[in-house]
Amino acid sequence: MSDLSLILTAVGSILLLLFLVMKVRLHAVVALILVSMIAGLFSGMSPQMIAGTIQKGMGGTLGFVAVVVALGAMFGKVMEETGALDRIAHTLLHRFGEKNANWALTFTGFICALPLFFDVAVVLLIGIAFAVVRKSGGSVIKIGIALLAGIAACQAFLIPAPGPILVASQLGADYGYMILFGLLAAIPAMIIGGPLWGSLIAKSIHVELPEHAQNNDNTRDGEGEPSFGLALGLIALPLLMIALNTIGSRFVEQQSNLHHWLEFIGHPFTAILAACLMAFYLLGVKRGVPQDRIMEICSSALQPAGVIILVTGAGGVFKQVLVDSGVGEALGNMLAGSGLPIVMLAFILAAAVRVIQGSATVAMLTACGLIIPMLEPLGLDGAQLASVTIAIGGGSIVLSHVNDSGFWLANRYLGLTEMQTLKTWTVMETIIGTTGAIVAMIISLFL
C-alpha cells in the first residue's frame, strides 16, 4: 500500500474509535481491539498477522504495566487509608499558610498524585480543596485549578505515574533521566497552569462551593498519625532507587556484577515493590493495623486498577498494529522532509490523537506507535529518548474537552458549566502540556 493510504487508514481508525466510544458507547477495551483489527485489515495485514500482533501488543504492554499499575495501586491505597496522604496535605497547608493556600494545594496534588491514578487522585484530594475554601472563604476556581494542575503535571511527566513510565518503557528511555527531565518539565508547567492561571481566571469566573462539598471522612487505619517525613520518604523511596541506578551506573564498569545489581535495584518493579513493603510495615504493621486489613486494602485497590490495566493493554494493541502495519513508517516518511525536530513531532502526534479520542493514556500509546519507526534510524540514547517521552506526555494532555473523563471530573466536582470548564480546566491542561513540551524541546538541544 502507498504511504498515503496507510496514513488515511490510521486517521480513519482513530475517527472510528472516537465514534465507537462516544456515540455507540462501546467499552474502550472492546473498541480498541475491534478498531485494531479493522485497521490491520485495511492496511493490508493478513488475518494471521493481525492475531499475532494483537497478542504481541497486549502481552508486550501488560508485561510491564500490569506489575507497575498493580503495585502502585496498592501502595497508593495504603498511603490513603492510613492517613499518610492527609499528613502531606495538611503539613504543606500549614507551611504555606492560608494566604498561599493555592500554592500548597498545587504541591499537594503534585506529590500525593504520584502513587495514584489521575481519577483516584482527584476523588481523594478534592476534599482538601473544599476544606480550604470553607475555612478561608477563598475562590473555588483558584483553589480547585491549583490542585488539579499539580495532579495533571505529575501524571503527565513523572514516573512512576502509569502513563509516563509506560511510554518510557516502550521507547527505551532512561528512567533516571525521566525523573530529572520530568521534574524540570512538571514544576514550571504546574506553577504556570495552577497558581498563576488559577488566580488569573478566578477574577473573571466565580462559582459557589458545590453542595456535594462535604467534610471528608477522617477515619483512618492505624494508631496515631504518620509523620510528614515518613509519608514523604515513602513516596521518595522508589524515585531514589531508580535515580541510584542512573547515577551509579555512570561510575561502575558496564556489565559487571555491581552494574547488574544497580539495574535490578533501580528497576521500577523493584523500586515500587520496596515502597509497597515499607508502607505495609511502617504504616500498617508497626501502627497496629491487622494484616487482614492490609490485605483487604490491597484487594480493594486492585479492582479499579484492573480496568485501567486492560484499557492500557488494549491501547498497546492499537499501538502495535500501527507499528506492524507500517503506518508509523509511512508517517515517518511523510514527515521526514518537514524539518521539524523529533521532539516537536512527538508532541504534535500525541496532541492530535488526544484531541480526537480523549484518553491521555491512549494518546501516549498511539503516539508511541507512530513515533517508534521514526526513532529507529536516529540511534537516540536513553537521555534523548527521555526528552521525547516528556514531549509525548505534554501532547497527551493538551486541549482536553468533552471526550475526556478529566473534563467531566473537573466539571462535576467544581460545579462548573461546560463553557466555564473549557475556560478553566481546558486552558490549564493546555498550558501544562505545552510548557512541558517546550521544556523537553529545550532539553533536547543540549543532548
pLDDT tens track for 396-405: 999 887 667 6
Place of cell 491505597: 77
Residues 52, 39: Cα–Cα separation, whole Å: 14
Q: Residue 215 above 70 pLDDT?
A: no
Q: Residue 89 above 80 pLDDT?
A: no
Q: Which of 37-46, 76-85, 89-98, 186-195 has the lowest mean pLDDT?
A: 89-98
Confidence of residue 1 (pLDDT cuts 50, 70, 90): low
Predicted pLDDT at 335: 65
Q: Residue 435 above 70 pLDDT?
A: yes
Q: Residue 110 above 70 pLDDT?
A: yes
pLDDT higher for 120 or 395? 395
Confidence of residue 124 (pLDDT cuts 50, 70, 90): low
Q: Which of 60-69, 185-194, 325-334 has the lowest mean pLDDT?
A: 325-334
Q: Residue 307 above 90 pLDDT?
A: no
Q: Residue 36 above 80 pLDDT?
A: yes
Q: Which of 123-132, 174-183, 186-195, 418-427 has the lowest mean pLDDT?
A: 123-132
Predicted pLDDT at 418: 79
CA dihedral 147, 408, 436, 13 (to 10 degrees): 160
Q: Residue 214 above 70 pLDDT?
A: no
User: What digits encode the pLDDT tens for the residues 3-25?
Assistant: 788 878 878 887 887 788 768 88
Count the alpha carbons within 13 Å of 12 in the hemisphere toward its beta carbon. 14
User: What digits encode the pLDDT tens for the residues 332-386?
Assistant: 667 656 678 889 989 988 888 787 766 788 788 888 888 888 887 788 888 899 9
Q: Which of 41-55, 224-238, 418-432 has the lowest mean pLDDT?
A: 224-238
354 within 8 A of 396, measured Cβ to Cβ:
yes
Predicted pLDDT at 331: 67
Predicted pLDDT at 288: 87
Q: Residue 318 above 90 pLDDT?
A: no
Which has the closest alpha carbon to 158: 135, 138, 139, 186? 186
What is the share, in percent, of the chain residues with pLDDT greater than 70? 90
Predicted pLDDT at 21: 74
Across residues 19-43, what is the average pLDDT? 85
Q: Is the peptide bond before 188 cis (omega within 30 degrees of 0)?
A: no
Q: Residue 66 above 60 pLDDT?
A: yes
pLDDT higher for 38 or 62? 38
Q: Residue 179 above 80 pLDDT?
A: yes
Q: Residue 157 above 60 pLDDT?
A: yes
79 within 8 A of 276, measured Cβ to Cβ:
no
Predicted pLDDT at 219: 60
Across residues 419-447, what is the average pLDDT? 92
Q: Residue 236 above 90 pLDDT?
A: no
Predicted pLDDT at 433: 95
Predicted pLDDT at 41: 92
Q: Which of 30-39, 296-305, 428-437 has the lowest mean pLDDT?
A: 296-305
